[in-house]
Amino acid sequence: MTKITEQMTLAGRAIEVDSFDLIDTEAGSRAKYTDEEWPLVRRMIHASGDFDFNGLTEFHPNAVVSGVAAIRKGGTRIVADVEMICAGLSAPRLEYFGMTALRFIADPDVVERARAQGSTRAVQAMRKAHCEACLDGAIVGIGNAPTALLEVIRLVRAEGAKPSLIIGMPVGFVSAVESKDMLMTLEEVPWISVRGRKGGSTLVVAAIHALLALAQTGREENG
């Protein structure tokens, strides 16, 4: 039976399977990662063509378990920093689990508060998500804005926000490295991140799709 978390055509599935096999062959040692973590790293390599993510990707010990559990629960929100993540996620795959993807960065009230307070839209978007009780239990995906990641970390530590998982992979130069380094010190909430300047929304989408596939496999195996 075709899984909703896989490619929808036989040709597409064959290409994806062949790509994953090539990645497994060419990636070298995967000793850093568990059997549950490697599918996420592999899909990130597949999305980027960059084998550096075999090594740069870091996981909180409970990251995959927490992410899969949040998905299987059904109805879990994905809170993204930018529209690109929402657009990249497969609508049928989200629908299978009753999930929705939200972003607030373009909301007029977010833009106005950012201008009034001299902050970024990304910061205000995460504050709005928290105020509207969208962060608790959510999977937070940040691939573009380091200030969004820094704000989510602050919300967790200072205001008790409790996402199920933070996938923090902002790409860039200003505060990107620092925000990810700070995320990797977070103990209160599980996280997935990448070291250094590399990152991006495509990687966040790849990681979420890998989690969706793991969640469906587990659901079917458990009946």
Residue 86 CA to residue 167 CA, distance in Å, equals 14
How would you classify the pairing of strands 77-80 and 57-59? Answer: unpaired
Contact 168, 60 (CB under 8 A): no
Please tell me the pTM assigned to this model. 0.93
User: For residue range 50-59, what is the model confidence (pLDDT) as tens digits?
Assistant: 999 999 999 9
Candidates 46, 60, 130, 209; catalytic one = 46
Which overall architecture, per CATH, does domain 56-221 show? Answer: 3-Layer(aba) Sandwich (3.40)
SS3 99: coil
Give the domain ranges of the chain: 56-221
Q: What is the pLDDT of residue 1?
A: 38
Look at residues 178, 160, 180, 156 and name the one whose alpha carbon lies nearest to residue 168: 180
Average pLDDT estimate for 92-109:
96
Query: Cα dihedral angle (162, 164, 170, 174), rounded to 10 degrees?
Result: 20
Active site residue 130: no
